[in-house]
Structure 1
């Protein structure tokens, strides 16, 4: 099994699979690797075992990729998120279509405008999802045939390819609640948009608290070893040796902790 970073492991973790045993493969650890456990200082080292018993999402930091500004939201945040397919917006519909062609994408394309669009038929609010179905010729000019889907009905709009945005392309499908957006590994490198937050694109940075058990025995470096009966030490060492044999079967010498 390939090793992964602790952040990636936690984000993709199914809580129903806990507890999970990890082995530290390599990496740089918080505050010089020094931790306090039951009043004793210890440090994480390559090869150490930790048994993850619980993972709790504490908060999510939303970052504006353009300015670096951040805001925090709670895990109970009720807004919904749409994943954006690219790291940038497009100035016109023609630029949006050209980028799709360069990446061999086929119509239809899901997109939105960060500004209100006014047509003879109706007004499209900002951040309203649109579906670009085809390019048609009207009065000798190219127009994008777009579908506006409201709760009541669908409307067909013909927008000139010179229509100005900015426009963002987004992944098709229903918007996702916060926890689903965080747990889908296919979305981990994408930007998101959420109509209830102040920015048109944002990065989600979850912050977790990981509760874990470290078995302290002779090969673990500690500043102070707690006194314990000999039989308890032997039981702990035996348990760790059994876990070690199990984990080494899938060892891969790459950076990050490894879970089983």
Structure 2
């Protein structure tokens, strides 16, 4: 089914304040008739079932080294800090970059630039200037941005179809584990964490959800 994603990935991608949500199981596990209560709070979900998600609770967090695949469990009160690791991919439109860096259900601020000059209306934005996206105008399909051109900065709306050679601009902002898990757009990124080592890491949270079966 189009747009179907693993349940845990979907739950990770939505903020708590957006609940409740109605989900349809596009491919489930079927165990002889409609028996849902298995081993206490666990349940069997059959293809086509509807469920209303009314809450989610973090059970555990794994950190995975991108290079080696090694997994380690983190305490939920882990005190280390994380820095976003940019992937250095170049995108032909601002929209392609935005799709990569933002979650469907929740946006985040980020920094980016372009290898080439690009045009927005009557404005020509010079190459390699740092640009900060701070909000997305979904109605008009554009990003609300600040362009930083020493010694000044200015506000501009950049349409998602704008063509250029866009890539994420690395910044030094640090995030706690709690901040990352509360921001679905941020949680899909890769990170560096000196507390854990010199590698690039991905966070893999596991949630328990509270649901009402339909």
**Corresponding residue number in structure 1 for 2:183:** 184
Q: Which has the higher helix share?
A: 1
8 Å Cα contact 1:82/1:171 also seen in 2: no
**Secondary structure of 1:82's match?**
strand
- Residue 4 of structure 1: how far off its partner (Å): 4.7
8 Å Cα contact 2:38/2:44 also seen in 1: no
**Secondary structure of 2:204's match?**
strand
**Corresponding residue number in structure 2 for 1:133:** none
- Residue 16 of structure 1: how far off its partner (Å): 2.9
Distance in 2 separating the partners of 1:33 and 1:75: 33
**Corresponding residue number in structure 1 for 2:170:** 171
Distance in 2 separating the partners of 1:67 and 1:188: 20
**Corresponding residue number in structure 2 for 1:59:** 60
Distance in 1 separating the partners of 2:84 and 2:208: 25
Alignment of 1:1-260 (within 5 A): 3-5=3-5, 6-24=7-25, 26-27=26-27, 29=28, 32-34=29-31, 36-37=36-37, 43-86=44-87, 101=115, 106=128, 171-172=170-171, 174-214=173-213, 240=214
- Residue 58 of structure 1: how far off its partner (Å): 1.2
Q: 1:70 to 1:10 in 2, by over 3 A?
A: same
Residues 130-150 of structure 1: CA distance to partner in whole angstroms, max 9, x if unpaired? xxxxxxxxxxxxxxxxxxxxx
Q: 1:84 to 1:48 in 2, by over 3 A?
A: same
Q: 1:58 to 1:43 in 2, by over 3 A?
A: closer
- Residue 184 of structure 1: how far off its partner (Å): 3.2
- Residue 213 of structure 1: how far off its partner (Å): 2.4
- Residue 33 of structure 1: how far off its partner (Å): 4.0
Q: Number of residue pairs matched?
A: 142
8 Å Cα contact 2:60/2:76 also seen in 1: yes
**Secondary structure of 2:22's match?**
strand
Distance in 1 separating the partners of 2:198 and 2:4: 31
Distance in 2 separating the partners of 1:87 and 1:46: 39
Residues 156-189 of structure 1: CA distance to partner in whole angstroms, max 9, x if unpaired? xxxxxxxxxxxxx973252111132234343354
**Corresponding residue number in structure 2 for 1:115:** none
Structure whose alpha-carbon radius of gyration is higher: 1
Distance in 1 separating the partners of 2:201 and 2:79: 16
8 Å Cα contact 1:80/1:175 also seen in 2: yes
**Secondary structure of 2:11's match?**
helix
- Residue 55 of structure 1: how far off its partner (Å): 0.7
Greater RCO between the two (CA within 8 Å, min separation 6)? Answer: 1
8 Å Cα contact 1:22/1:51 also seen in 2: yes
